Amino acid sequence: MGRFRTAKHYAAASILLPGSATLIWPGKVWLNALLLIWLVACAAYWIREERKEHQERLARTIGAMQNAGIRTLNHHRHDWMNDLQVLFGYARMGKLDKTIGYVEKIRDRMAAESAISKLGSPSLISFIQSFRTITNSLSLEVDIKGDLHLNELSLDGEAVAETIIHTINAYRFAVKSDSAALSVLKLELSADEEALYASFYYEGELMNEHQWSQKIKQQLEGAPLKPVGSVQSFSKVLLRAEMRA
């Protein structure tokens, strides 16, 4: 994209040449005509380069989304293969009770994934479903209470989703990756007639708790989700977004 921007700037700067000539010899009609033609040509060139830049940016965005989708599908395929191998192993050993227990575990996970897919915010759904493809140092667990659809609530669902994503990322960038145990962040979402509630429970270590705290404060400034209570620690962050009247 840099080459498009540079070419546009050169084209714009080239107008100085006929413009200067017109100022030096103001009475020359042919110079005024040349300046007008030059301006039209530069404008047409600028528009063409803008379209090329937009097309390249769009192609890169689509490519990034496709790659993210492929990585997410590969992770889900890997999980299902592991589940099938475990079930096959229990079946071969005749351990019916363990087989039933594992099937119930799969059913619970499918119910959780179904609840995530119904959140009503494409950006948040995509972020949660692809989270495992962007980090290996933090595990994200999501627990949604009831049927929650952000797009159907009387609040700014996309702003809420953006705040949730930023909060998760604040943990992701602050997690102490060289810790012996895997850090876990649990997100609980629920809503009633008065508000939407987002609760974050963190198990693990942070590289710098003060920096994490400052980042959280910045993310929550002007956001629809507000802290519940005056004291918040990195191990538990409770947020609340009031419904519109």
pLDDT at position 146: 86
Residues contacting 126, CB < 8 A, separation 6+: 68
Mean pLDDT score, 64-84: 76
Look at 38-47, 105-114, 128-137 and tell me which has the smallest mean pLDDT: 38-47
Cα angle for residues 139, 141, 146 (degrees, 5° grid): 170
H or E, element range at 221: none
CA pair distance 56, 62, nearest whole angstrom: 10
Name the band, by pLDDT with cuts 50, 70 and 90, for residue 238. very high
The per-residue pLDDT of the chain, averaged, comes to 82
* CATH code for the structural domain at 120-242: 3.30.565.30
Pairing outcome for strands 195-203 and 183-191: antiparallel
The residue ranges of every structural domain in the chain are 2-71, 120-242
**C-alpha dihedral over 98, 104, 106, 111, to 10 degrees?**
-170
Q: Is the pLDDT of residue 153 over 80?
A: yes
Beta bridge pairs of residue 188: 143, 199
Percent of the chain with pLDDT over 70: 80
Helix/strand/coil for 81: helix
Mean pLDDT score, 191-197: 92
CA pair distance 59, 48, nearest whole angstrom: 17
Q: Is the pLDDT of residue 126 over 80?
A: yes
Look at 21-25, 38-42, 185-189 and tell me which has the smallest mean pLDDT: 21-25
Encoded tokens for 159 = 């702003």
Percent of the chain with pLDDT over 90: 29
Instruction: Please identify which residue in the block is written with the tokens 């492929």.
Output: 70
Cα angle for residues 2, 45, 21 (degrees, 5° grid): 105
Beta bridge pairs of residue 144: 189
pLDDT at position 10: 59
pLDDT at position 40: 72
pLDDT at position 198: 95
pLDDT at position 132: 84
H or E, element range at 222: none
**79-88 tens-digit pLDDT:** 888 888 998 8
**201-212 tens-digit pLDDT:** 999 888 888 889
pLDDT at position 136: 83
Angle between helices 122-129 and 96-117 in degrees, nearest 10: 150
Mean pLDDT score, 107-132: 90
Name the band, by pLDDT with cuts 50, 70 and 90, for residue 57. confident
CA pair distance 225, 210, nearest whole angstrom: 21
pLDDT at position 199: 94
Q: Is the pLDDT of residue 89 over 80?
A: yes
